[in-house]
Structure 1
Amino acid sequence: MFAGRIALDIAATAKDPVRVLIAGRNRMRLDWLRTAGNARAAMFGTPAHFATHPIDLLEAGASEALIGEHRPRLVVQAASIQTSAVISDSGSRWTDLVAQGGLSATAVFQALISARMAAAISALQPDIQLINCSFPDVVNGMLVAMGHNVLCGTGNVAILSNIFAGERPAAGDGKLRVLAHYQCLAPWRLPPQQRVGTLAPRVFIGDEEIADPFQVFEGCQLTPEPAIEISGASGVTLILALASGRAWEGHAPGPNGLPGGYPVKLVDGQLQVDLPKGRSLTDAIAWNAAFEARNGLTVDGTAARYHGRLRELLEEEGSVHAAGFEVGDLETVCSDLLRLREDLSQKPNVRHSA
Structure 2
Amino acid sequence: MSKVLLIGAGGVGTRLAAEVAALAGVSELVLAGRSEARLATAQRSCQAQVPGARVRGLPLDVGVVERTAEVLAAESPDVVVMCASLRSAWDLLGRSDEQATAITRAGLAVRLPYMVTLPLALMRAVKESGITAPVANLCFPDVTGPVLATQGLAPTVGLGNVGMLLLRAAEAAGLDPRRDLIRVVGHHAQMFTAAQGIRPPAGEDTPRTYLGDPPRRADDLPYRPAARQPGSDFDALTVAASTPVIEALLPDAAPLRWSVPAPEGLPGGYPVRLQGSTVTMDLPDDITVEEAVALNSTWARGDGIQEILPDGTVHMTERAREAVAEVDRGLGEPLRIEDLPERVALLDHYLHPESNDSDAPHSSIEG
The TM-score range, normalised by the shorter chain, is: 0.7 to 0.9
Which of 217, 224, 233 pairs up with 2:230? 224
> Is the aligned partner of 1:251 residue 2:293?
no
TM-score (norm 1): 0.85
Letter in 2 for 1:307: T
User: What SS does structure 2 have at the residue aligned with 1:84?
Assistant: coil
Alignment of 1:245-284 (within 5 A): 245-246=252-253, 247-267=255-275, 269-284=277-292
State the AA in 2 paired with 1:233: A
In structure 2, the residue matched to 1:157 is 162
Supply the distance in 1 between the matched residues of 2:40 and 2:263 (Cα, whole angstroms).
32
Question: TM-score scaled by structure 2?
Answer: 0.82
Measured after TM superposition, the shift of residue 184 of structure 1 is: 0.9
CA apart distance, 1:210:
3.0
What do the CA deviations read for 1:155-199 (whole angstroms, capped 9, x no partner)? 11111101211222389x96211111111123335456x654526
Partner of 1:333: 343
Work out whether residues 65 and 122 of structure 2, in 8 Å CA contact, stay in contact via their aligned partners in 1: no
> Residue type matched to 2:40 in 1?
D
Which deviations, in whole Å up to 9, do the C-alpha atoms of 1:209-259 show, x marking residues without a partner?
Answer: 535506x85234211335111102322122122223322221111111111
RMSD (Å) for aligned C-alpha atoms? 3.0
> Deviation digits for residues 320-352 of structure 1, max 9, x if unmatched?
363313224433333344334336999xxxxxx
Paired with 1:200 and 1:132, the residues of 2 have a C-alpha distance of: 24
Q: Distance in 2 between matches of 1:344 and 1:32?
A: 26
8 Å contact 2:106–2:319 — kept in the other structure? yes
Number of residue pairs the alignment of both structures matches: 339
Tell me the distance in 1 between the aligned counterparts of 2:97 and 2:206: 29
Is the alpha carbon distance of 1:343 and 1:50 closer, same or farther for their aligned partners in structure 2, counting shifts above 3 Å?
A: closer
Q: CA deviation at 1:290?
A: 0.2
Assess if the C-alpha contact under 8 Å between 1:177 and 1:204 holds in 2: yes
C-alpha deviation, 1:60, in angstroms: 6.6
Does 1:233 pair with 2:243?
Answer: no
**2:54 aligned partner:** 49
Question: Which residue of structure 1 lines up, in the alignment, with residue 44 of structure 2?
Answer: 35
Instruction: Tell me the distance in 2 between the aligned counterparts of 1:21 and 1:174.
Output: 33
The answer on whether the counterparts of 2:95 and 2:101 sit within 8 Å (CA) in structure 1 is: yes
User: Post-superposition shift, 1:82?
Assistant: 1.5
3-state DSSP of counterpart to 2:28: strand
Unmatched runs of 5 consecutive residues or more in structure 2: 1-10, 357-367
Q: Distance in 2 between matches of 1:40 and 1:333?
A: 39
For residue 304 of structure 1, what is the aligned residue in structure 2? 314
- Are the structure 2 counterparts of residues 28 and 170 from structure 1 closer, same or farther at C-alpha, using a change threshold of 3 Å? closer
Q: Give the Cα separation in 2 of the matches to 1:345 and 1:16.
A: 41
1:179–1:202 contact (8 Å) kept in structure 2? yes
After superposition, residues 1-354 of structure 1 pair within 5 angstroms as 1-12=11-22, 14-42=23-51, 48-59=53-64, 61-86=66-91, 88-169=93-174, 175-190=181-196, 196-197=201-202, 198=204, 200-206=206-212, 207-210=214-217, 212-213=219-220, 217-226=223-232, 227-246=234-253, 247-267=255-275, 269-293=277-301, 296-297=304-305, 298-302=307-311, 303-320=313-330, 322-342=332-352
Which stretches in structure 1 are left out of the alignment for 5+ residues? 347-354
Shift, 1:99, TM fit: 2.8
1:352 aligned partner: none
